[in-house]
Chain A
Amino acid sequence: MRTLLNIFFTITIVVFLGSCASAPKDPMPQSYEVQCVEGVAGNSYKYLSWGLGEDNAAAEEDAIKAAVYAAMVNRGSGSCASLMNTSEAENNKDFIKQFYVEGKWKQYATSTNRGRIDPNKRLKLEDGTIKMGIDVVVNTGSLRNYLIELGKIKSMRIGG
């Protein structure tokens, strides 16, 4: 009986502590609202990317992640092509997740806002989430070379 009680309390404590621990942060972008604006210098695309976050920094980071995701996987709205086609994106789900977990996306993106907040593009949503729109330039040339090197895309893709 006593052993059962011990097990019960142990499980209760473990469950309680487990519930207290915060869920690991999802490395993937929260927002996928990205608009391709223009090509820059022949090897980059400029995106107006909207990020979501609990504060400005988180929203800005999310916007940059979203822009890289658009360049690599889903192209966003506008006329820029993504580097991966649908089947490549489907086959490389784990790679893409790992790409974000390791923070590799940072190497290919430049925020032209440099942290400056455009008041027309910083919105607070009804639930308190910050939605921020920033201009992000993604170096699609470098990103394409990286993906080709790893064999994730074919080398003759048009666009990017």
Chain B
Amino acid sequence: MKKCFFLLIGVIVLVLSLQFVASIHANAEETKGEVKQLISGKFERKSLTILPVTLSQTSRYSDELLKGVLNLPQTSRFDYNNISPKYLKVFESEFRKSGFDPKDPMGEKSKVAITNAIINSALEPIVKIVCNQDSIDDRFKRQQKRVVTSAASSGKISTTGEQDALLLINGAFIPVIVLYNVENKENSATATGTVYWYRIDASQVKWDTIIQENGSIYPTNFKDVKVNFVSANNLTSVGIVRKKDEKEDKSAAGKLLGTATKDIEESPKDAKLSADQRAVKGLPEQIIKVAYTMEDFKIRGVVQTVDPDYTIDVGKKEDAYVDQGYKIYETRLGADKKPYSVYTGFIRVDKVGNNVNNVEDSRAYSIIASGIEQGHVAVSHDQGLDFYIRPSYKTVNIPKEIGRLVYSSNLYNEDVNSSINIDAGLYFNLAKVTNVPQLFIGINASFGFPNATSADAFDGTTQSTLQVDISVMKKIWLSRFNVFGEINFGVNSFSIGNIPTLSDSKLTIGTGLAYGAGVNAGLEYAFSADLNIGVQAGYRYVLPTTTLTTQLGDGEKKEYSKENNLGIWSIAKLDDLNLGGLNLGLKVSYSLPPFF
């Protein structure tokens, strides 16, 4: 028992130490300068032009796939630059003529075939639409958000230059979606396909431009405009025909978990679609979900003010949300005259600006500020569940006579009044639902080991405490530090296990689950955007136990109530058993990336 305990503690300390060292290293890397090579258009808003194609075996779904692309719900994080169905058909025709090999869809030959099909059919219309007046106006609007330091008077200039057009072109992504198969089952169907991500690279373009009457500007010479393969993802979409009385579950859980795209209201026309048609039509939506996980499509903004509050020029329009984190970078020019970006801090939004029709920035507060200045770039850093691990010391009262539940001797020489515990849990940020910053709901489990040596008679047995609860926690940040308060509610138990019997099976005797509630408070320090280390103290009140349980091996668990076993309660002094009390712990928490 002792060996196991010390081994466990050793492993925990080792894991924590390694994590700590790793985080220090990572943090040092960040503060020294997380240098990222700056690429053209890195901080520009991106656009998508989706090109759908079917293979010969799925060609009958061509129209549904096209409808799915053209009717995609608008998302604010990037622009759609749909080209007309006429060009899409031309692209599909070019694609079919290309050397795309369905047997080796990820092979170099297939990727090159798609590249050539894009260049031969869709590239020019895409570049034209990327640089059209709407796109330019939109970019111009984004550029006019703030007036702070202009030394000269301002006036609207309606034209733009080659550099603006170049940034828009380089921000253009071309996802090519290939529908491979559609499988039907009763009232459902599954469509599978692959999306190939391509990106335009026009950094070396020699401009031979035509400025249109409407102000658009684009190159007419496309020989220097490249199309590069970026990545590929498999996609699956399920279509279901619901019965009339069956409604889709749009519970709060859906909102809580968050979805990348907004729901589309089903039109009467769509209501007549079969399951396979629905599955195909839904496939392009999966592209948007993939895009949300890609580095290039993270929300990008600019730090507008740093005093008295941090503000960034993103908001509802970009789907920014309360508690969304942003990593801040400064662009620097090296001695070799090459630009690079350096990590300067981490901020978190506490008030989302409504910039849909207004100019309103989002307000944020700093967690890590290593020289954040106006004009630095803010790149969204989404976080999912917070996982924590916490070695802790707790006061308890375990009467020594509790051993008499097993043998006619005491378990310990004296009553035990403390335990060493290892706690772990997950916190989910409720800010998306409640709009209250840094409000979490958590699920926690704690395994404890009484801080005493058991009597010889109990050699080979194990004694442990268990606590499981749910909690609500609120954090308040003061720069790198946060103070937090938490209330929790759950159950506690104590058990003696691994007790030898006359049979091969071991016996476990334990108390039933006793309800308890508590409060905790603590202080944490942010080592990085995702890693916090802190201390916590608290108190928990646990009701006296009123049941006992026994279990032989994996057999059925038997329960004994106090009122029928007063004698046992008296002999084992179970009324003196108190699994509540004070606690003190060291907490390490890490924010996991979002799952979706």
Rounded to whole angstroms, the CA-CA distance of A114 and B147 in the bound complex is 5
Q: Which residues of B contact A38 (CB under 8 A)?
A: 159, 161
CB-based contact A118/B143 at 8 Å: yes
CB distance from A78 to the nearest CB of B (A): 11
Interface string of B408-450 (1 = CB under 8 A from A): 0000000000000000000000000000000000000000000
A58 to chain B, nearest CB (A): 9
Contact B331 A117 (CB under 8 A): no
Asked if B123 lies at the interface with its beta carbon under 8 angstroms from chain A, I say: no
B227 on the interface (CB 8 Å rule)?
no
Chain A residues whose C-beta falls within 8 Å of the C-beta of B44 in the assembled complex: 120
| Inter-chain contact B159/A40, CB cutoff 8 Å | yes
Q: Which of A115-141 contact B (CB under 8 A)?
A: 115-120, 122-126, 130-132, 135-137
Q: Are A120 and B152 in contact (CB under 8 A)?
A: no
Stretch of B348-356, B372-380, B503-511, B555-563 contacting A (4+ beta carbons < 8 Å): B372-380
Interface with A: B333-341, B382-390, B461-469, which one?
A: B333-341
**Chain A contacts of B43 at CB under 8 A?**
119-120
Chain B residue nearest in CB terms to A38: B161
Give the residues in chain B near A74, CB-CB below 8 Å.
none
**Shortest Cβ distance from B339 into A: residue:** A123
**Contact status B331-A57, CB under 8 Å:** no
A113 touches B (CB below 8 Å): yes
Contact A126-B335, Cβ < 8 Å, known A56-B149, A114-B154: yes
Count how many pairs of residues, one from A and one from B, have CB atoms less than 8 Å apart in the complex.
103
Q: Contact flags (1/0) for A36-75 with B, using CB distance below 8 Å?
A: 0110100000101000000011001100100000000000
Which residue of chain A has the shortest Cβ distance to B154 in the bound complex? A114
The answer on a CB contact under 8 Å between A64 and B152 is yes
Judge if B271 is at the interface, Cβ distance under 8 Å: no
Of the listed stretches A82-90, A93-101, A103-111, A142-150, chain B binds: A103-111
Give B140 Cβ to nearest chain A Cβ, in Å.
9
Please determine whether A56 and B331 come into contact, CB atoms closer than 8 angstroms.
Answer: no
Q: Does the CB pair B332–A124 fall under 8 Å? A: yes
Q: Is the CB of B374 within 8 A of A117?
A: yes
- In the complex, which of the residues B146, B159, B167, B373 contacts A114, with contact meaning CB atoms closer than 8 Å? B146
Q: List residues of chain A with CB within 8 A of the CB of B144.
A: 114, 116
Name A110's contact: one of B42, B157, B163, B376 (CB within 8 Å).
Answer: B157
Chain B residues with CB below 8 A from A12, complex form: none
Residue ID in chain A nearest B377 by CB atoms: A119
Known: A119-B377, A120-B331, A122-B375. A110 touches B152 (CB 8 A): yes
In whole angstroms, what is the CA distance A114 to B167 when docked? Answer: 19
Chain A nearest Cβ from B497, distance in angstroms = 60
Which residues of chain A are near B332, meaning CB under 8 Å? Answer: 123-126
0/1 per residue, B291-303, Cβ < 8 Å to A?
Answer: 0000000000010
Most buried by B among A48, A123, A130, A132: A123
Taking CB atoms, residues of chain A closer than 8 Å to B147 are 114-116
A120 to B167, CA, bound (A): 10
Does B155 have its Cβ within 8 Å of any Cβ on chain A? Answer: yes
B40 contact set on A, CB distance < 8 A: 120
Bound CA span A132–B44, Å: 17
Let me know if B148 is at the binding interface, CB within 8 A.
yes
* B330 interfacial contact with A, CB 8 Å: yes
Q: Is the CB of A109 within 8 A of B161?
A: no
Q: B340 to nearest A CB, angstroms?
A: 10
Q: Does B259 contact A (CB under 8 A)?
A: no
Residue A112 interfacial (CB < 8 Å) = yes
Partner of A46, one of B145, B159, B339, B376: B159
Q: Does B153 contact A (CB under 8 A)?
A: yes
Contact A123 B333 (CB under 8 A): yes
Are A106 and B161 touching (Cβ within 8 A)?
no
Nearest CB on B from A29, distance (A): 12
The answer on a CB contact under 8 Å between A116 and B167 is no
Task: Report how far A116 CA is from B373 CA in the complex, Å.
Answer: 14
Which residues on B sit within 8 Å (CB–CB) of A125?
A: 332-333
Give the distance in Å from the alpha carbon of A37 to the alpha carbon of B162 in the complex.
Answer: 8
Q: How far is the CB of A111 from chain B (nearest CB, A)?
A: 5
Q: Please provide the chain A residues from 1 to 54 with a CB less than 8 Å away from any CB of chain B in the complex.
A: 37-38, 40, 46, 48
Does B151 sit within 8 A of A, measured CB to CB?
Answer: yes
Identify which of A112, A115, A119, A135 gathers the most chain B CB atoms within 10 Å of its CB.
A119
Which residues on A sit within 8 Å (CB–CB) of B374?
A: 56, 117
B357 contacts A by Cβ under 8 Å: no
Interface check B150, CB cutoff 8 A = yes
Cα–Cα distance between A6 and B146 once the two chains are bound (Å): 57
- Closest A residue to B152 by beta carbon equals A109
Quick one: given A120-B43, A123-B331, are A115 and B148 in contact (CB under 8 Å)?
yes
Across the interface, do A111 and B151 meet the contact criterion of CB distance under 8 Å?
yes
**Residue of A with least CB distance to B144:** A114
Given contacts A119-B331, A123-B332, contact A110 B154 (CB under 8 A): yes
Q: B161 is contacted by which of A46, A110, A114, A131 (Cβ under 8 Å)?
A: A46
Whether A113 pairs with B376 at a CB distance below 8 angstroms is no
- Our pick among A37, A116, A123 for the contact of B146 (Cβ within 8 Å) is A116
Give CA–CA (A106, B373) in the complex, Å.
26
Contact A119 B148 (CB under 8 A): no
Complex-state Cα separation, A56 to B38, whole angstroms: 20
**Cα-based distance from A123 to B43 in the complex (angstroms):** 13
- CB < 8 Å neighbour of A60 from B150, B159, B333: B150
Residue in contact with B150 in the complex, picked from A115, A119, A120, A130, CB distance below 8 Å: A115
The 8 A CB mask of B23-42 against A (1 = contact, 0 = none) is 00000000000000010111
Q: How far is the CB of B536 from chain A (nearest CB, A)?
A: 39
A63 vs B559: C-alpha distance when bound (angstroms): 82
Q: Which residues of B contact A48 (CB under 8 A)?
A: 161, 163
- Which of B152, B155, B333, B373 meets A131, CB within 8 Å? B333
In the bound complex, do residue B151 and residue A60 qualify as a contact, i.e. CB atoms below 8 Å apart?
A: yes
Name the B residues within 8 Å of A106 (CB-CB). 151-153
Q: How far is the CA of A122 from the CA of B302 in the complex (A)?
A: 11
Chain B residues whose C-beta falls within 8 Å of the C-beta of A126 in the assembled complex: 332-335
- Residues of A contacting B159 with CB < 8 Å? 38, 40, 46
Distance in angstroms between the alpha carbons of A56 and B146 in the assembled complex: 13
Contact B375 A56 (CB under 8 A): yes
The distance from the CB of A66 to the nearest CB of chain B, in whole angstroms, is: 12
Q: Enumerate chain A interface residues (CB-CB to B < 8 A).
A: 37-38, 40, 46, 48, 56-57, 60-61, 64, 106, 109-120, 122-126, 130-132, 135-137
Chain B residues packing against A (C-beta within 8 Å): 38, 40-44, 143-155, 157, 159, 161-163, 167, 302, 330-335, 339, 373-377
A/B interface sample: 16 pairs, CB < 8 A: A40-B159, A48-B161, A109-B151, A109-B152, A112-B157, A114-B144, A116-B145, A117-B374, A119-B375, A120-B167, A122-B331, A124-B333, A126-B333, A132-B375, A135-B161, A137-B155
In the complex, given contacts A38-B159, A64-B151, A117-B374, what are 6 additional A-B residue pairs having Cβ atoms less than 8 angstroms apart? A106-B152, A113-B150, A115-B147, A120-B41, A135-B157, A137-B155
